[in-house]
Amino acid sequence: MPVSSLLRPRDSDALRAEVRWVARRANVPVVFGGEVDDDTLLLSEFVGTITTGLRGLTVLRSSGLGGQVMEHHRPAAVADYRGASSITHHYDGPVSGEGLRSVIAVPVVVADRPRAVLYAATRGAAPLGDRTTEVVMQAGRRLAGEIAIRDEVDRRVRMLELTAPVPSVVPAAEELRQIHADLRALATTTDDAVLRDRLSGVCARLTGVLTGEPAGQTPRLSRRELDVLAQIALGCTNQEAALRLSLGPETVKSYLRQAMSKLDARTRHEAVAIARRHGLLP
């Protein structure tokens, strides 16, 4: 099984978190959503529903409100679902069974491709307010960003898998060090603790492959200290490392000083060399 398939958490977990977040933040009784695969939306996550009619429903591109937002890549809403003339009515049965009338659908678009759809709905005739709309759109933007990060991690891990068997050891080692640093930088941009831990595990395995021994335990550096050293090992300045890690320059300097002290190194370059000897960096 490819490393990338083990690394990536299920996107449904992130979708579920956003559905629940909208339900807490928006003054709306029903929130639901699903992932899009091969132009087909599968509704899987629900808060506030009282029937099972929508559960497991597949929505085709351009059909219904969800299909419309998949097709046009922009949010859409109807004040009265059953009487709306702007959408097809392929799904009136389960929607009416749930008693939904005012509905907004927000597509989650990544790299110009719909990956999920979030819905909020009421059972009354009053249209959804601007605050509810903004909350759902904010959740959609956040979910799109999280999926984009996961896609990029998968892309870089696939690069790692492809470069591993390259016979030219020195160029491959340099490329793998670049990937190692990039993965550490990507880990700082996600709020998903599970993804961060798995990225750290991949980095540790990569370090072990390149050094021929397990990641060192002594001296013990923090995750942030290793993040900074990984960028310094590529020749980055403090400012460049700060940009890559989304940290302040002074914070980078502080982590670097701590790492140098733990490694008993007099210069940044000596710190990198010592860290590599201990198997802390590839």
State mean pLDDT over 57-65. 94
Of 49-58, 67-76, 200-209, 221-230, least confident by mean pLDDT is 200-209
- pTM for the whole structure: 0.59
DSSP letter (8 states) at residue 82: G
Residues of each domain in the chain carrying CATH 1.10.10.10: 164-277
Bin 64: left if φ > 0, else alpha if -120 < ψ < 50, else beta. Answer: left
Considering 190-199, 218-227, 237-246, the range whose residues carry the highest mean pLDDT is: 237-246
User: What's the rounded Cα separation, in Å, for the pair 224 and 79?
Assistant: 49
- Residue 216 banded pLDDT, cuts 50, 70, 90: very low
Average per-residue pLDDT in the chain?
86
Please write the tens of the pLDDT for every residue from 126-162: 788 899 999 999 999 999 999 999 888 888 887 877 7
The segment with the largest mean pLDDT, out of 69-78, 259-268, 271-280, is 69-78
Confirm if 69 and 61 have CB atoms less than 8 A apart. no
CATH 3.30.450.40 residue window(s) in the chain: 3-150
Of 35 and 184, the structure prediction assigns the larger pLDDT to 35
Say which residue, 216 or 201, is predicted with more confidence. Answer: 201
How would CATH label the architecture of 3-150?
A: 2-Layer Sandwich (3.30)
CB 75 within 8 A of CB 137: yes
Query: Looking at residue 159, what is its pLDDT?
Result: 80
Would you say how long the chain is, in residues? 282
| Encoded amino acid at 214, one letter | P
Q: Are 10 and 146 in contact (CB under 8 A)?
A: no
Q: What is the pLDDT of residue 215?
A: 46
**Structure confidence at residue 3 (pLDDT):** 46
User: What confidence category does residue 262 fall into, taking pLDDT thresholds of 50, 70 and 90?
Assistant: confident
DSSP state of 49: -
Distance between CA 282 and CA 276 in Å, rounded? 6
Report pLDDT digits (tens) over 9-43: 788 999 999 999 999 999 899 999 999 998 899 99
Maximum mean pLDDT: which of 163-167, 250-254, 276-280:
250-254
CATH class of 164-277: mainly alpha
pLDDT at residue 37, as a whole number:
92
E strands present in the chain: 30-37, 40-47, 58-60, 76-78, 102-110, 113-122
SS3 106: strand
